[in-house]
Amino acid sequence: MDVRVSIIGTGNVGAATAFGLLSASTVSELVLVDINRKKAEGEAMDLNHGVSFVSPVEVVSGDYSDCKGSRIVIFTAGANQKPGETRLDLASKNAAILKQAIPELMKHCPDAILLMVANPVDILTYVALQVSGLPHRQVIGSGTVLDSSRLRYTLSRHFGVDVRNVHAYIAGEHGDTEVPLWSLANIAGADLDHIEFFGKAPLDRQALFEETKTAAYHIIERKGATYYAIALAVRRICEAILRDEHSVLTISSLIDGHYGIDDVCLSLPSLVHAGGRERILDLPLSDEEEGLLRHSAKELRKVLSGLGF
């Protein structure tokens, strides 16, 4: 069966995502769209020159009309935050881009799942949901899927264990108010208070969380941008959708009553399947974690209110 996925925006993240999907062998056609048409054309040409090394796939560049029939539309287009610019400034600029782009996309692919990746991702996921008029299950954001992977990597390095055996989540905003769900973290089924058998130094949770939360800043300081890991996170979300996996991922989506939170998009462990977000898992959290999630939601609501939502 033909599987078309479209990527709006072919900057660092969009191009890396295209490469990730090409190498994953989960799509048969990739459509690249960018306001800079030559950039999209160049990326498509470059990727097509490697298709003999992967499963059959066609990469094309085009415009919104070429996205017709897409199973997923990945939105990475947007401005980057500049020095001295507030999050509200960035949100305002990128929300304006969405308000123009989403109605055009809806003309051609109203059945596609919208996967928001551009930042601030939780704000833009909410804006996309409101502007598109799509069911909330059909509009999701990459959320804290990457943040959770960073936390797992940092824990795996501390304990000297394969990262695939580490289970931990970051929830809330993809940003400064994100929340580590320590109460759910475990290695091989053992919570972090009962893993003395690894023979490692005591875990400094706050230091480890700060390392996780600030990771992007350190990468940007060194190479100017982050794109490989987020591209792999987006690929993972697409795999869960295209394979109808019912996987648990911390995507961003509309929260309506969970943990006392309403009318914002943020990340919570959720089941992801062919229709997008199936449901949010009401997992038992500590009182402190629930309070921090409500604080995260409050900060996001402030930004949304500033944008008129």
Q: Taking each helix axis from N to C terminus, what angle separates 121-132 and 87-108, rounded to the nearest 10 degrees?
A: 40
Ligand-binding site membership of 118 (annotated) = yes
Ligand-binding site membership of 143 (annotated) = no
Ligand-binding site membership of 62 (annotated) = no
Ligand-binding site membership of 148 (annotated) = yes
Catalytic residue among 136, 158, 174, 273: 174
Identity of the amino acid at 171: A
Ligand-binding site membership of 39 (annotated) = yes
Ligand-binding site membership of 149 (annotated) = yes
Beta bridge partners of 139: 114
Ligand-binding site membership of 64 (annotated) = yes
Beta-sheet pairing, 276-280 with 270-273: antiparallel
Ligand-binding site membership of 14 (annotated) = yes
Ligand-binding site membership of 234 (annotated) = no
Give the span between the Cα atoms of 173 and 150, in whole angstroms.
Answer: 15
Ligand-binding site membership of 78 (annotated) = yes
Ligand-binding site membership of 224 (annotated) = no
Give the span between the Cα atoms of 270 and 268, in whole angstroms.
Answer: 6
Give the span between the Cα atoms of 164 and 156, in whole angstroms.
Answer: 9
3-state SS assignment for residue 89:
helix
Told to judge if 273 belongs to the known catalytic residues of this protein, a careful annotator would answer: no
**Residue 278 is encoded by which pair of tokens?**
């199936």
Give the span between the Cα atoms of 303 and 301, in whole angstroms.
Answer: 5
Q: Please give the C-alpha separations between residue 86 and each of 82, 187, 212, in angstroms, as whole numbers.
A: 8, 38, 22
Q: Residue ranges for the binding site for beta-D-fructose 1,6-bisphosphate?
A: 152, 167
Binding site for NAD(+): residue ranges?
Answer: 9-14, 34, 39, 64, 78-79, 94, 117-119, 142
Binding positions for substrate: 81, 87, 119-122, 147-150, 226
Annotated binding residues, written as ranges, equal 9-14, 34, 39, 64, 78-79, 81, 87, 94, 117-122, 142, 147-150, 152, 167, 226
Write out the catalytic residue numbers.
174
